[in-house]
Amino acid sequence: MMHPLTLLMTTAAAFAMATTQVPSSRPAAPPQRILFIGNSLTYFQEGIYTHLEKMGAAATPPRTIQADKVVFGGQYLKTLWEKYPEPRQAIAKGYDAVVLQEDLPETTVAAFREYARRFVGDIRKSGARPVLLMAWAYQRLGWISMAQIADAHRAAGEELGVDVAPVGLAWERVARERPDLDLLIQDREHPSLYGTYLATAVVYATIFNASPVESSYVPAGIPAAPAEALRRAAWDSVQAYRRR
């Protein structure tokens, strides 16, 4: 029979070893896999998807993002559904989130609502989270205003129960607050680097429900102070949109 004192010492030693043992390292969380479907409004300036990966990597703590894209210039959701099999083939591969970018001046509100519904159905069947990217109005096709684009996206988001990344509204905010930051290139339709960076920050804030200010990523060509202003404008715009 073990002496009580010896038993006590043995138990204490075992407890000390248990409490000081370094726990085994847990496997890292899998990367967030995000698919972008859209046109040149998404892929200009190296693409929102490229900047999103970098913005996540420079966040505190870092976010590992794997972003893919199926993008075709001049297209919109109706033509991406009817003419191209690639978007739905990509959706079927399985992602955590799929971002649908409509180019509403190029199509009608009715077509946007119909094909957003079709894409969202496929995305949900794949187990992914759908997100609508609200783009901006532009001069070449001025039949629809930014307010009308925003209304169409809000209605679609509410009908389908999906989040909307209010990029176009963030652009309006920056135009008011920082008119020195030109978000468009010379054609007044496609985004400058400032515009793509702002769109990236809005998508980041929408998907992760986190302020993009937490990221230190600044692409070459944008000074640090304007970059921070754009990230803050993105976060303010997403919060304001959700409060309405």
Q: Quick one: 84 exposed, middle or buried, by C-beta within 10 A (0-12, 13-18, 19+)?
A: middle
Mean pLDDT value of segment 145-154: 98
pLDDT at position 61 over 60: yes
Give the residue, 26 or 195, on which the prediction is more confident.
Answer: 195
C-beta of residue 136 within 8 angstroms of C-beta of residue 171: yes
pLDDT at position 56 over 80: yes
Q: What are the backbone dihedrals phi and psi of residue 209, each rounded to the nearest 5 degrees, phi first?
A: 50, 45
Q: Look-up: residue for tokens 């009580």?
A: 4
pLDDT for 13 equals 42
Ranges of each domain in the chain: 30-243
Joined together, the tokens standing for residue 137 give 């109005």
Give the residue, 200 or 4, on which the prediction is more confident.
Answer: 200
Question: pLDDT tens digit string along 69-110?
Answer: 999 999 999 999 999 999 999 999 999 999 999 999 999 999
Mean pLDDT value of segment 124-132: 97
DSSP 8-state symbol, 184: B
Looking at this protein, which amino acid is placed at residue 22?
A: V
Is the model's pTM score more than 0.85? yes
- Range list of β-strands (E), the chain: 32-38, 65-71, 97-101, 129-133, 163-165
Joined together, the tokens standing for residue 227 give 């970059």
State the fold for domain 30-243: Rossmann fold (3.40.50)
Mean pLDDT value of segment 127-137: 97
User: What is the share, in percent, of the chain residues with pLDDT greater than 70?
Assistant: 87
pLDDT for 244 equals 84
Length of the chain: 244
- How many angstroms separate the Cα of 183 from the Cα of each of 21, 91, 102, 210? 54, 30, 18, 23
pLDDT at position 193 over 60: yes
